[in-house]
């Protein structure tokens, strides 16, 4: 009798495990950027992104960052009422698109993934928006730095007339220019986590423009504090362990 009970319990436990797996968010771990909204093409140069992480979404609306809970089961899609966003002000046309984007997230009740496209629909089955898939991998990408954290912990723009770069090799190598010297390092990633190794650079001194050497040193230090990263179409953000952005970059043409 005891062995018969075991035979009954095993399939029962297996069914529970399978049921648990079936409730997982099928979009978990995917990144998307907006192609069109309510039948109109997304504004160029201001990527709108949608990133799924477990039961949360986050991204940028083209001006502000946002995030909040989402429920995805089967083909149903529902964004919770607790969606939050930062409060930067941008040009009116950008803010209008952002507001329309949040309205569509509230209206969306279903989705379809076909190849590299994600579409969101309302309760009448009308198309609200189309997104294109975006890789979450850094390997094989090259970027130009737009801002870095200075000695005061403030995110500041790169000096005019200077260029800092970062190239992430498929072999785990990281290299680029600090604005004066070339540098090299290593990196490892797992999902959105990243670890950057010690930075080694050449030893040139550049007197012009003023502050270039301090900028370079602070950029190298910021790189080594990175703990997570986020790709928003043609933009890359590197964050520290507290989630604070320490370097921003744009994709190299």
* Domain coordinates in residue numbering, the chain: 31-134, 141-251
Query: Of all residues in the chain, what percent carry a pLDDT higher than 90?
Result: 64
**What is the per-residue pLDDT for 23?**
54
**What is the per-residue pLDDT for 18?**
41
Q: Look up residue 253 and give its DSSP letter.
A: -
* Other Cβ atoms closer than 10 A to 204: 11
Q: Look up residue 171 and give its DSSP letter.
A: T
Say whether 141-251 and 31-134 share the same fold: yes
Is the pLDDT confidence value at 14 over 70?
no
Q: Which two tokens stand for residue 144?
A: 């130009």
pTM assigned to the model: 0.62
Q: What are the C-alpha distances in Å from 23 to residues 12, 32, 74, 230? A: 17, 22, 8, 26
> What integer best gives the mean pLDDT of the chain?
87
CATH number (2.60.40.10, 2.40.128.270, 2.60.120.620, 1.10.357.10) of 141-251 reads: 2.40.128.270
What band does 126 get if pLDDT is binned at 50, 70 and 90? Answer: very high
Question: Are 48 and 61 within 8 A, CB to CB?
Answer: yes
Q: Quote the Cα angle for 10-13-14, to 5°.
A: 85
Is the pLDDT confidence value at 22 over 60?
no
Q: Is beta strand 235-239 parallel, antiparallel or unpaired with respect to 182-190?
A: unpaired
Question: Are 132 and 33 within 8 A, CB to CB?
Answer: yes
The model's pLDDT over 43-97, given as tens digits with 9 standing for 90+, comes to: 887 788 899 988 999 888 988 889 999 999 999 999 988 899 988 888 999 999 9
Closest CA to 192 of 251, 252, 243: 243
Task: Please tell me the distance from the alpha carbon of residue 196 to that of residue 251, in angstroms, as a whole number.
Answer: 19
Task: Please tell me the distance from the alpha carbon of residue 114 to that of residue 135, in angstroms, as a whole number.
Answer: 16
Q: What is the mean pLDDT of residues 102-115?
A: 95
**What is the per-residue pLDDT for 219?**
97
Domain 31-134: CATH architecture, name and number where available: Beta Barrel (2.40)
Does residue 248 have a cis bond before it (omega within 30 degrees)? Answer: no
């Amino acid at each position: 009798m005891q062995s018969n009970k075991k035979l009954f319990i095993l399939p029962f436990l297996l069914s529970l495990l399978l049921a648990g797996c079936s409730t997982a968010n099928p979009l978990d771990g995917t990144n998307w950027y907006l192609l069109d909204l309510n039948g109109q093409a997304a504004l160029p140069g201001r990527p709108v992104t949608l990133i799924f992480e477990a039961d949360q979404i986050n991204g940028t609306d083209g001006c502000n960052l946002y995030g909040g809970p989402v429920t995805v089961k089967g083909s149903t899609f529902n964004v919770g009422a607790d969606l939050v966003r930062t409060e930067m002000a941008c040009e009116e046309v950008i803010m209008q698109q952002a507001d329309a984007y949040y309205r569509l997230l509230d209206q969306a009740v279903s989705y379809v993934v076909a190849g590299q496209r994600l579409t969101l629909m309302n309760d009448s089955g009308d198309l609200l928006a189309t997104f294109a898939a975006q890789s979450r991998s850094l390997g094989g990408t090259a970027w130009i730095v737009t801002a870095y954290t200075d000695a005061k912990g403030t995110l500041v723009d790169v000096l005019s007339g200077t260029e800092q770069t970062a190239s992430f090799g498929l072999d785990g190598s990281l290299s680029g220019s600090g604005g004066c010297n070339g540098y090299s390092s290593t990196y490892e990633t797992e999902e959105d986590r990243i670890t950057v190794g010690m930075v080694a650079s050449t030893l040139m001194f550049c007197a012009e423009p003023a502050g270039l050497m301090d900028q370079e040193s602070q950029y190298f230090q910021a790189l080594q504090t990175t703990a997570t990263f986020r790709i928003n179409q043609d933009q890359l953000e590197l964050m520290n362990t507290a989630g604070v952005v320490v370097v921003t970059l744009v994709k190299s043409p």
